[in-house]
Amino acid sequence: MIIAVIGDSSCSSEEATLAQSVGELLARQGGTIVCGGLVMEAVCRGAKSKGGLTVGILPGQDSSMANPWVDIPIVTGIGEARNVMVVKSAQAVIAIGGSYGTLSEIAYALKSRIPVIGLYTWSLSRNGKEDDTIIIVQSATEAVEKAISLAKRRKNHGIASSFSPSSSTIKGEEIRPGNPRDCQSPTSRGSQ
């Protein structure tokens, strides 16, 4: 299964640690990670430490811009438009922190009915009411468990299966607003 992990081009050390843990846990479960390359250096590092496969969908035209832990760099030359490719390539998305680029990826995923699990990321409201379409979690373990569960369900029912946060498997979970923050490994080589 393919899980997209998204976040911004900078982050706190706490978010980098969470991202690395997410990568490790996904690799242990046999997940393939797709991300924006440099942006999620920590998740790729974590995945590679456990033998996982990583795919970086890059905004530019130079594969050397991928972080050192990306196995398969996909060069697009389309800038931020690649955000659509990142989330559409996955059966579930984990958002860690993030700024407006991450918010756009969240929107593309939700519009495509791809479940989004949020870890210290955006929360949404619609017409002044909380919108619980982002499944807010509090730990890397919880994020990975939820992403894998939803990805398997999506895979078993085909890509056209419907995802609805109000379904009985999600209903009743405590949804807390996230914090819009940025996320990238402290060892990043700069922004995209």
* Count of domains for the chain: 1
Q: What is the pLDDT of residue 28?
A: 97
Q: What is the pLDDT of residue 170?
A: 36
Whether 90 is covered by a domain: the verdict is: yes
Whether 121 is covered by a domain: the verdict is: yes
Whether 188 is covered by a domain: the verdict is: no
Whether 147 is covered by a domain: the verdict is: yes
Q: What is the pLDDT of residue 37?
A: 52
Whether 175 is covered by a domain: the verdict is: no
Round to whole Å and give the CA distance between 164 and 155.
15
Residue 182: closest CA among 1, 3, 13, 34: 13
Whether 130 is covered by a domain: the verdict is: yes
- Annotate 11-29 with DSSP letters as a single string: --HHHHHHHHHHHHHHHHT
Whether 169 is covered by a domain: the verdict is: no
Domain around 152: 2-156
Digits of tens for pLDDT over the chain (192 positions)?
999 999 988 888 899 999 999 999 999 999 999 998 545 899 999 999 999 999 999 999 999 999 999 999 999 999 999 999 999 999 999 999 999 999 999 999 999 999 999 999 999 999 999 999 999 999 999 999 999 999 998 876 554 334 444 432 333 333 333 333 334 333 333 433
**Does the pTM of the predicted model rise above 0.85?**
no
Whether 20 is covered by a domain: the verdict is: yes
Strands 134-137, 53-58: pairing kind: unpaired
Tokens (6 digits) for 119: 């870890």
Q: What is the pLDDT of residue 39?
A: 54
Q: What is the CATH number of the domain that holds 140?
A: 3.40.50.450
Q: DSSP alpha helices (H): ranges in the chain?
A: 13-28, 41-49, 82-88, 100-111, 140-156
